[in-house]
Amino acid sequence: MRSISIVGVGLTKFGEHWDKGLKELIAEAGTLAIEDAGIGKVKIQAVYAGCMASGRFNGQEHIGALAADVLGLNPIPATRLEGACASGGLALRNAYLAIRTGEFDVALVVGVEKMTEVDTGDAGFALGGASDAETELFAGASFPALYALMAQAHMAEFGTTEEQLAAASVKNHKNASQNPYAQFRNEITVADVMKSGYVASPLKLLDCSPITDGAAAVVLMATDVARKMNAARKAVEIIASAQASDTLDLAHRNNLYETAAAKKAVQDAYRQAGISAKDVSFAEVHDCFSIAEIMAIEALGFCRQGEGGKFTADGHTAIGGKTPVNTSGGLKGDGHPVGATGVKQAIEAYWQLNNLAGARQVRGAKIGLTHNVGGSGATAVIHLYRKA
């Protein structure tokens, strides 16, 4: 099967873009990615766009065609992928699969979400559609409430503390302070998190990712084609792509303190790449809430089940630790424009493996991992990367 690489990336700043709409965000990120690849847009053969809720947020569906249109890429095929907060990761995976099977040689992947102008209550309701609407959303269970249940279960089963949860947010804000694209570039302390007020106990305001605008884009290319087109200088190979599912609602899962879909997907990815968790140099994980990062690093095999809180508080996921996690700042510090997150994670992997991450660079980085989750864990998408 073919080798596929990322050969160019483009990213908008994450945050509140009152002066930009969906079109402007897509155009900015997509144009930057094509320019970074150095190939010209005429070489792009397909577009894959990740977006969760533009219809609810902006009244605009048909995002695949919109992306092709604003980037001047008509008449090539353009497809939208939706998997809640994993929409960007799904777009990346589907482009990867299309090139791997030989359908295309070059594809542009775009992830986008425009959320700032939406009323907070309306945004919460729209995001709640990623849960089981009938049994959770309509019963009043917001996403903070669902993840709070997971946090409570983890605390009851393993003794995880609120301070350990807070340590994930503190570390991610520190990393974001070194990221010029991040929404929040301020460092915080455990004390700041602890006094930030409960949203859904035990989760506090500073345990939760924000509402964010932004777009991210990558150019994927068959590695052999990239070499022929002189586009392989900064190429980063995707060495594994895997996806798994779990029940949409929490009530029918085996337990609430682990994410089975992520465990299954990462096992598949490790098998594809012929590696194990100990070979991963760094990871971008889906920390929509601090407990989500704790559960992610356990699912990915960076530490044993139940030890994620202590592993984080002891500094093992910090830059310079055993397995640096969320060097970009994660969803908590960098921001979470839902459809863009999975693509942004891939961009961080590209920068790290090209030694372009500046002050947040992981020394000697060889293999990167991205973990993008939809809903409360019903969809999990894993990708592994190395320098081509």
Six-digit token string for 362: 């992981």
Q: Which of 51, 85, 288, 303 is catalytic?
A: 85
Paired strand residues for 218: 9, 109
The contacts of residue 168 (CB under 8 Å, 6+ apart) are 287, 290, 293, 294, 312, 317, 332
Q: Are 349 and 88 in contact (CB under 8 A)?
A: no
Q: Are 335 and 247 in contact (CB under 8 A)?
A: no
Helices 63-70 and 22-37, packing angle to 10 deg: 60
Q: Is 336 tagged catalytic? A: yes
Can you count the helices (H) and strands (E) in the chain?
14, 11
**CB atoms inside a 10 Å sphere around CB 348:** 29
**CB atoms inside a 10 Å sphere around CB 87:** 32
Six-digit token string for 97: 């699969």
Q: Which of 173, 336, 371, 383 is catalytic?
A: 336
The contacts of residue 265 (CB under 8 Å, 6+ apart) are 242, 243, 244, 380, 381, 382
- The residues that are catalytic are 85, 336
